[in-house]
Amino acid sequence: MSMRAIYQSKIGLHLMDKGAKEILHSISEKQGRKMNSVESAKEIPKFLEFFKDQINLAEVKHPLDHFKTFNEFFIRELKPSARPVAMVDRDDVAVCAADSRLVAFRSEEDSKRFWIKGKKFSIGGLLGNDPSCSNFKDGIVVIFRLAPQDYHRFHFPVSGTIEQFKDVSGCLYTVNPIAVNSKYCNVFTENKRVVSIISTVSFGKVAFVAIGATMVGSIAFVKKTGDYVNKGDQFGYFSFGGSTVICVFEKDSIQIDEDLLANSARSLETLVQVGTTLGIATKV
């Protein structure tokens, strides 16, 4: 109800403009420091109890006593066998980038019709209005929304070379659908984010956008510009909270799996895991 009061009304967003954005930044930074403290480790059992049956500890690479802070647990690695990569030898098959709730759209217009209600949303705005991103005009949009209980490391959906990283400053609005579907703000184009461009043989260029959110002031990467990567490789992680990855493919470069498109056209998210199939290249 509180989120609806803030994000679904002009008055709520006006109050956000009057100082709450700075408060969100401050809270996120303070919470981040707290979750990096040794004392925060005592929160791990409470977190596991709250999300009982939603976190499979058998998949986690290290035992619980390995984690000295809550954030160490939150950005936990999984055993290599926990997330097999579909069709690992075929670079023309893209895979899901995160354990998440996924929606996918054939075009920017479809994304606004079925999911993103912010009037000013655009792929250009999402990518920071960089002239080098003209390749993505009317591109294919795939949104991976992570919840707090999810595995919070994100992976490459495609194989290729990282061409660039670009930091885009912004707010830390929640990525809850209540905010995403607000007519009064544009979460994905206003939030703090990092845009990376991956050059591939099968899909052309792919934009990978890691978006910060409330309680997620930190986005970390384990790869750098110039690195060649394979689909399924680890790319980075989000610190405490939930957040979102958005991948943008060039127009007509990929056929997204039909079940994902069908659910998305009904405004339904599909629960997916890292490495499961996303779609196949159409230009090979």
Q: E strands within 11-110?
A: 93-95, 100-105
* C-beta neighbour count of 179 within 10 angstroms: 24
Closest CA to 185 of 173, 193, 194, 176: 173
Q: State the catalytic residue, choosing from 40, 91, 92, 155.
A: 155
Here the tokens at position 91 are 């670079």
Q: How far apart are CA 167 and CA 159, in angstroms?
A: 22
Q: State the catalytic residue, choosing from 40, 91, 92, 99.
A: 99
Closest CA to 244 of 283, 219, 212, 214: 212
Identify whether 155 is a catalytic site residue. Answer: yes
Q: Is 87 left (phi over 0), alpha (psi -120 to 50) or beta?
A: left
CB contact at 8 A, 164 and 225: yes
Q: Strand order of the sheet with strand 234-238?
A: 153-155, 234-238, 219-221
Q: State the catalytic residue, choosing from 40, 218, 243, 264.
A: 243
Q: Which amino acid type is present at position 1?
A: M
Identify whether 9 is a catalytic site residue. Answer: no
Which positions are annotated as active-site residues?
99, 155, 243
